[in-house]
Structure 1
Amino acid sequence: MDENNRITITVCGDGGCGKSSITLRLVRSQWTHEYDPTIEDSYSVTRTIDGVSYFLMLTDTAGQEEYRSLWAASNLRSDAFLLVYDITNPHSLDGLEYFTEMIDMEEENRIDQGKVPPVKIVAGNKCDLQGARQIRSKDGLEWARRRGCGFMETSAREMVNIEETFAHLVRRVVEARRLAAAGGSAAQPVRTAALPPVIEKEDNKSSSPNEKDGASKIGFWKRLRCW
């Protein structure tokens, strides 16, 4: 396959936020509810996006603090980063600061060297658990915007926005490469459609004790798109 169609993606975030579940959903169409702490796993999968076939090489990294020192330099050389947090765990979003700081330093180095900077998308996972939500959609979106990241909400269990999230990562990498080749400002974030303003309304609804979690919300969350 053409080297330009090879894309490396590192999946990072706190332990238990669903990084492995998201990765395995994409690669094997499997979901597991059992939490098995990951040190580091590598996968590959081919996807056709916008009529072009891409070979995706994914690294599912450790989230536990005791394993973070094992983050290899090769992880920071990835084309894209998926930063995952758990919408039911208010501390998991703050936990992404560690990773964004390292990625931002890598981004500065690449820009100084005239290389293509990395693409970053934040994913609020477990969006099927509306009754247990602790982080509002708009808070996750604003957190991502302040750090120049794209934003999605996902559910590995219900297969919500899994394929879409990785498709957005690929499109952003392709666009960043195109801008760099054209001598443009590849450091600027590549935005797609804005997140629908109806999210906050839906969040308010989900706080109702009479509303059931899960399937009734899936149709709405599948309509979310990355900004």
Structure 2
Amino acid sequence: MDENNRITITVCGDGGCGKSSITLRLVRSQWTHEYDPTIEDSYSVTRNIDGQSYFLMLTDTAGQEEYRGLWAASNLKSDAFLLVYDITQPNSLEALEYFMEMISMEEDSRIDEGKTPPVKIVAGNKCDLQGARQVRSQQGLEWARARKCGFMETSAREMVNIEETFALLVRRVVEARREAAHGAAALQPARTAALPPMNEKDTSSMNAMPEKEGMWRKRAFWKRLKCW
């Protein structure tokens, strides 16, 4: 399969919020109500989205605090992150700050290196438990928007927005890669005919384009890449 059709996704969030349930729903169409703390599991699945086949490589990561230190550096190299919280547990939304901090540092590093920044989508899981809801949809949406993330509400139990969430992740990764390619092309120097050597007077005109301006334009382009 074309390397461009391979997409890596890291699923993260607090323990018990349903990360594994969401992942297994996508990969195996299964749902389990038993909670078994995950250290880290990897899965792969193929999906056809908008007429194109994509190979998704998913990593279901540890949510419990005692396991978070085991996060491998490779997890942060993913193309996309699905940040999951439980709509019946407000603390699970607050817990996403820990993961966002690490992802934000990785994002800044990629921008500095001129690489495609990661896609981020927040998923409010267990939306079938409306009677126990503690986090309003608007609250989750505002939290996500403030951090330039996409937003969905899901239910692994009722299979609500599971396929749709991962399809959205894929579309936004494809879009981010396209924007990155266009930006790289735009930053390529224009081809011109050879110019005669500049004399000493000519060098004064170079002050009109400081050396840092080109880098500023490059960073400005990447900063405009937002995921809503």
Global fold match (TM > 0.5) = yes
Q: Give, in whole Å, the separation in 1 of the partners of 2:183 and 2:121.
A: 23
Q: Give, in whole Å, the separation in 2 of the partners of 1:20 and 1:66.
A: 18
Q: Give, in whole Å, the separation in 2 of the partners of 1:190 and 1:93.
A: 19
Q: Residue 2 of structure 1 aligns with which residue?
A: 2
Structure 1 moving runs of 4+ over 3 Å: 184-187
Structure 2: gaps (5+ residues): 185-220
The alignment of Structure 1 onto Structure 2 pairs a total of residues equal to 191
The structural deviation recorded for 1:190 is 3.7
Relative distance call for 1:86 and 1:25 in structure 2 (3 A) is: same
Instruction: Name whichever of 178-187 and 113-122 sits farther off.
Output: 178-187
Equivalent residue of 2:105, what SS?
A: helix
Equivalent position amino acid for 1:106 in 2 = E
Q: Give, in whole Å, the separation in 2 of the partners of 1:65 and 1:91.
A: 13
The structural deviation recorded for 1:186 is 4.6
Q: Residue 24 of structure 1 aligns with which residue?
A: 24
Q: Deviations over 1:66-110 (max 9, x none)?
A: 000000000000000000000000100000000000000000000
Q: Residue 124 of structure 2 aligns with which residue?
A: 124
Q: Deviations over 1:194-214 (max 9, x none)?
A: xxxxxxxxxxxxxxxxxxxxx
RMSD of aligned residue pairs (Cα, Å): 0.9
Q: Residue 115 of structure 1 aligns with which residue?
A: 115
Q: Deviations over 1:87-139 (max 9, x none)?
A: 00010000000000000000000000000000000000000000000000000
2:214 is the alignment partner of 1:177: no
Equivalent position amino acid for 1:189 in 2 = K
Q: Residue 38 of structure 2 aligns with which residue?
A: 38
Q: Give, in whole Å, the separation in 1 of the partners of 2:62 and 2:71.
A: 8
Equivalent position amino acid for 2:30 in 1 = Q
Give 1:59-78 correspondences, 5 Å limit.
59-78=59-78
Q: Residue 136 of structure 2 aligns with which residue?
A: 136
Relative distance call for 1:126 and 1:56 in structure 2 (3 A) is: same
Structure 1: gaps (5+ residues): 192-227
Q: Give, in whole Å, the separation in 1 of the partners of 2:38 and 2:168.
A: 25
Report the identity percentage.
84
Q: Give, in whole Å, the separation in 2 of the partners of 1:80 and 1:15.
A: 20
Kept after mapping to 2: 8 A contact 1:177/1:186: no
Q: Residue 189 of structure 1 aligns with which residue?
A: 226
TM-score, reference length from structure 2:
0.83
The structural deviation recorded for 1:189 is 1.5
Q: Give, in whole Å, the separation in 2 of the partners of 1:151 and 1:159.
A: 17
Q: Give, in whole Å, the separation in 1 of the partners of 2:227 and 2:11.
A: 19
Select the structure of larger CA radius of gyration.
2
Kept after mapping to 1: 8 A contact 2:119/2:169: yes
Equivalent residue of 1:84, what SS?
A: strand
| Higher percent of residues as helix | 2
Equivalent residue of 1:53, what SS?
A: strand
